Structure 1
Amino acid sequence: MTGKNQTPEAAGMVADAVKGNWVDRFAPAATRPYLRLARADRPIGTWLLLLPCWWGLLLAMLHDGRAHWHDLWIFAGCGIGAWLMRGAGCTWNDITDRDIDGSVARTASRPIPSGQVSVTGALVWLVAQALVAFCILLTFNAAAIALGILALVPVAIYPFAKRFTWWPQVFLGLAFNWGALLAWTAHAGQLEWPAVLLYLAGISWTLFYDTIYAHQDKEDDALIGVKSTARLFGDRTPRWLAMFLVLTVALQSLAVIVAAIGGSSPALLVALLGPWAMGWHMQWQLRKLDLNDNERLLGLFRSNRDAGLLPLPFFAIALLL
């Protein structure tokens, strides 16, 4: 419903969406609730799902020293697939969390609890996104297709995790970093240890950024009994985040070493600068952290797009050495 002081473009917009985003400004009115359900107005989640894919692809190329034209499609296909599967995953999350979301100030404006989209409409939208993503998956090799299908398991479980564990961010990490395994396999034809190490690094990174994100809702979560690492860690959060930072850098560095050890020393050294650059950005986030400032928490969470982008130019340069 449009309020007295709302413009037609702003009607129905989600509280934590990027202000002035393209959905609220340009998308046809009938499509906006579904695009908001897919988080098209909040692109950070697509980046966080996509970046491990690109890490895995570049390190796989560095590992075997091969680059072919199909890698360009893997690169692009991961981008399209990340947008679609992030949308499908968020749609599933909002279907399962519709009652919880209606009780939390930041999420009450989402399309299902606010009445913009019915549960049936959301289910149809979920299936449509997943089917298009599956068509893209079918262009990869058989091992990657199998991994892509298996990825549905953590995606399906994640929305329920906060009901039975204080560590739902682990389940988010399992789902959001699967692309490191898939993209490596799409290039190499088989899953190898560097991809597994990269996957574990991504899970640690997810624990870092999503704990920051979860601190926005800790009061509401406590009232309704939803669990999170933000509530578990409380005032000890900075120490835990520092541990996740170290673990992320260490695991990603180990993935680089195992992937590039058979190549040239300059390539290995340049590639190792990637994890350290990412760690520097995470350290910057720790210095800026204020657990009681929700606007800053959201800004730091969003800045992890830049943190995850930092390794990519170093991995790409290493391919040329």
Structure 2
Amino acid sequence: MRLARIERPIGWWLLLLPCWWSAAIAAIAGGDAFPNPWHLILFLVGAIVMRGAGCTWNDILDRDIDLKVERTRQRPLACGRVSLGAALAFLVLQGLIGLAVLVQFNGFAIATGIASLIVVLIYPLMKRVTWWPQLFLGLAFSYGALMGWAGAFGRLDLAPVLLYLGSICWVIAYDTIYAHQDREDDALVGVKSTARLFADRTREALIVLYALAVVLIGAAVVLAGGHTIALIGLAAFAAHLAWQVIKLDISDSALCLRLFKSNRDAGLMLFAALCLDAAVQALA
């Protein structure tokens, strides 16, 4: 269970939220009072399982690096509590559960979901070769922004694509905050990150990334037919992101972790507003 980070639910929350946003804007576009409840449940189970699979895969590839980083040296594979064979078996089990979730959707959504595996598989390797591993995390963690719409309509349109791009910017920003916890250790072992790349310019980079996220997500909401309540929720989301930028102190690891985790609340505020907007429009 520690391989799957079951004790740290923030990871699956952040993977889940773009799925739920996408299902919510699909409900608005389709004139429904609320997102498909069955799809919301499937996304929840899928996010928990696939986040666990991603963490397991990451630990398999990084077991030697993890030993050299203070925050990660007690991970089960790095410290020898779990064997490589057991980790691989657990990875396969989680993948099979994820597949069982995926096949509940339509054929287009199934194909779209399978395509995401390419990014998931290569992401853990990116910190060895590029200063932008957070971009690849964004590509993987934002994929649900496409899946909610694909599950509802069996196709993709501009709205979910813009939602996906906005979510990628959001992920790059919040994971940059997270990566500042390991900045010094990463430098020692030669691991790259946007935290190291931006360094003292992190606040300015976050302003740009968060602004892009709000604009792109807002465009997606408007294209899907979102009205006043959805835009008020977007404004609350933007205000929360601005608060993070103001509060940030990259030398304070505990604060960086707290700000990173707060993105769950920001995302839930936006989801709640999208659902309420769908309900009000459907009842009008």
TM-score range, shorter chain: over 0.9
Pick one of 232, 255, 262 that aligns with 2:197.
232
The question of 1:110 aligning with 2:75 is answered yes
Alpha-carbon shift at residue 67 of structure 1 (Å): 6.0
The 3 A distance-change label for structure 1 pair 68 and 302 is: closer
Question: Contact conserved, 2:27 with 2:34, CA < 8 A, in 1?
Answer: no
Correspondence 1:1-321 to 2 at 5 A: 35-66=1-32, 71-260=36-225, 268-320=227-279, 321=281
Higher relative contact order (CA 8 A, sep 6+): 2
Question: Contact conserved, 2:32 with 2:278, CA < 8 A, in 1?
Answer: no
The letter of the residue matching 2:269 is L
Q: Secondary structure at the match of 1:207?
A: helix
Alpha-carbon shift at residue 233 of structure 1 (Å): 0.5
The 3 A distance-change label for structure 1 pair 68 and 254 is: closer
Alpha-carbon shift at residue 66 of structure 1 (Å): 3.6
In 2, Cα distance between the equivalents of 1:210 and 1:90?
15
Q: Secondary structure at the match of 2:123?
A: helix
TM-score, length of structure 2 as denominator length? 0.96
Alpha-carbon shift at residue 117 of structure 1 (Å): 0.7
The 3 A distance-change label for structure 1 pair 67 and 108 is: same
Alpha-carbon shift at residue 274 of structure 1 (Å): 2.2
Question: Contact conserved, 2:63 with 2:77, CA < 8 A, in 1?
Answer: yes
In 2, Cα distance between the equivalents of 1:195 and 1:146?
16
The letter of the residue matching 2:258 is G
In 2, Cα distance between the equivalents of 1:300 and 1:110?
23
Q: C-alpha root-mean-square deviation of aligned residues, in Å?
A: 1.2
The letter of the residue matching 1:58 is A
Q: 1:3 maps to which residue?
A: none
Q: Secondary structure at the match of 1:36?
A: coil
Question: Contact conserved, 2:26 with 2:152, CA < 8 A, in 1?
Answer: yes
In 2, Cα distance between the equivalents of 1:66 and 1:302?
31
| Superimposed CA distance per residue, residues 62-84 of structure 1 (whole angstroms, 9 cap, x where no aligned partner) | 11214689x21101000000000
Q: Which runs of 5+ in 2 are unaligned?
A: none
Moved over 4 A (4+): none
Q: Which runs of 5+ in 1 are unaligned?
A: 1-34, 261-266
Max radius of gyration: which structure? 1
Question: Contact conserved, 2:178 with 2:256, CA < 8 A, in 1?
Answer: yes
More moved, 271-280 vs 96-105 = 271-280
Q: Secondary structure at the match of 2:72?
A: coil
The letter of the residue matching 2:11 is G
Question: Contact conserved, 2:59 with 2:77, CA < 8 A, in 1?
Answer: yes
